Amino acid sequence: MTADAPRPPAPAHRLPLRWRVMDRIEAVAAALWPAAFRRATPWAFLAPALLLVGILLIGLGYVISDSLHELNPATYRLREEYSLGNYAAFLDRPVYLLVLWRSLLAAVLVTAITLVFAFPYAYVMVRTRSGALRKLLLVSLFLPFFIGQVVRAYGWLIILGKQGLINQALEGLGLPAATLIYTYPAVIFGLVQYMLPFAVLMLAPALTAIHEEVELASESLGADWLRTFRHIVIPMAKPGLVGASVVVFTLTLTDFAMPEILGGGTNDFIASTIYDMFFQLSNPGLASALAAVLVAVGSLIVALVFRVAGTGTLGLRSGS
């Protein structure tokens, strides 16, 4: 604009330091990135992120490439020639299908249970008039979210374990000890507790978007709260429900820590199987093939949900 206009000789010594520094920075920036490059600025801003995510893609390339080579049991190295043998191995071994089924069933159960309990929590959190209560509900949500999965699973071990608090209490009452840990329900329970904060945080913005007047209108027309929920609140919260289900479903399907710690090796999910193939069977080809199957199954299901129910709050929108 006026950058090229002749300036009066500026009394540089009197300008504040900050101005002089900024002028210098602007000059350097203009030299390094002239106005002609302006159109490429967004790409320059994006480049570091694109490169960073590129690391993941290159690694994924290695996984897919390894999945196409079978293990040579004589040398414990992958064979040179390409084959689909690793993928065929899954169909021969029912145990892998069992693990896949167990993980999928858990994902469905955990999603359903989590949503049923997350919805009222999010609703009360959004609708309450008490700031203190809202804060309490938020903090109770963020604390476990920020503590991490391993520590939380450890907390459940203390409570549910063989010599855990519940069994100590049963013993104190003269009752026989119960097997609470290393069972499928324990894994499901641990996962539900793990997923609750995710689900509530996905639901809350969708509920905030529903004006309370709509509910009041429904009730003034004679609907009780159950009908209002069923016909007004839940349909209007659908974007949040879809978003929360997809997140909870995929995180559960691919979870490792809860089935390992609360399942104790008796209730492995796909992730544990992949890990064991890698480090116990030392078969990177087979592990990579299962990893590829997991990515495919997960993406397929998510795409299906998006096709049927829309993208919900996970939908992409650019700009404001």
Partner 1 sequence: MRSARGKAWVLWSMVILVLVTLALPTLVIIGASFTSGDIIRFPPEGLSLRWYRALWDLGGFRAALGRTAYVSALCTLIAIPVGTLAALALARRRMRFARTIQVYLLLPFTIPLVVSGISMMMLFGEARVLGQLWPVGVALCLINLPFMIWAVSSAVNALDPELENAAMNCGAPPVTVFLTVTLPAVMPGVITGALLMFILAFNEFLVSLFLTDSRTVTLPVQIYNSIRNVITPDLAAVSVVYIVVALAAIWVLDRLVGLEIFLKSK
Site for partner 1, residues 205 to 264, rule: CB under 8 A: 205-206, 208-209, 224-226, 250, 253-254, 256-257, 260-261
- State how far the alpha carbon of 302 is from the alpha carbons of 8, 70, 235, 246, in Å: 64, 30, 20, 6
CB of 172 to partner 1, least distance (A): 9
- Part in contact with partner 1 (CB under 8 A); list of ranges 70-78, 80-88, 92-100, 266-274: 266-274
CB of 95 to partner 1, least distance (A): 18
- Part in contact with partner 1 (CB under 8 A); list of ranges 9-17, 86-94, 132-140, 304-312: 132-140
The residues pairing with 71 across neighbouring beta strands, listed in sequence order, are 78
DSSP state letters, 121-159: HHHHHHH-S-HHHHHHHHHHHHHHHHH-HHHHHHHHHHH
Rounded to whole angstroms, how far apart are CA atoms 159 and 306? 39
Question: Per CB under 8 A, does 121 bind partner 1?
Answer: yes
Tokens of 317: 């929108």
Question: Per CB under 8 A, does 164 bind partner 1?
Answer: yes
- State how far the alpha carbon of 121 is from the alpha carbons of 35, 114, 134, 284, in Å: 52, 11, 10, 43
Q: Of residues 78, 100, 106, 125, which one binds partner 1 by CB under 8 A? A: 125
- State how far the alpha carbon of 259 is from the alpha carbons of 140, 180, 181, 212, 278, in Å: 24, 14, 11, 41, 18
Residue nearer to partner 1 on the CB measure, 62 or 82? 62
Phi-psi region of 203 (alpha: psi -120 to 50; beta: other; left: phi over 0): alpha
- Part in contact with partner 1 (CB under 8 A); list of ranges 8-16, 72-80, 90-98, 162-170: 162-170
Question: Per CB under 8 A, does 188 bind partner 1?
Answer: no
Q: Of residues 60, 89, 104, 109, which one binds partner 1 by CB under 8 A? A: 60
Q: Of residues 5, 36, 53, 221, which one binds partner 1 by CB under 8 A? A: 53
Q: 3-state DSSP call for residue 83?
A: coil
- State how far the alpha carbon of 270 is from the alpha carbons of 57, 88, 131, 211, 252, in Å: 21, 17, 43, 42, 10
Question: Per CB under 8 A, does 45 bind partner 1?
Answer: yes
Question: Per CB under 8 A, does 144 bind partner 1?
Answer: yes
Total site size for partner 1, rule CB under 8 A: 105
Question: Per CB under 8 A, does 48 bind partner 1?
Answer: yes
Which of the residues 293 through 312 are near partner 1 (CB under 8 A)?
Answer: 294-295, 298-299, 302
Q: Of residues 79, 87, 90, 154, which one binds partner 1 by CB under 8 A? A: 154
Q: 3-state DSSP call for residue 217?
A: helix
Question: Per CB under 8 A, does 196 bind partner 1?
Answer: yes
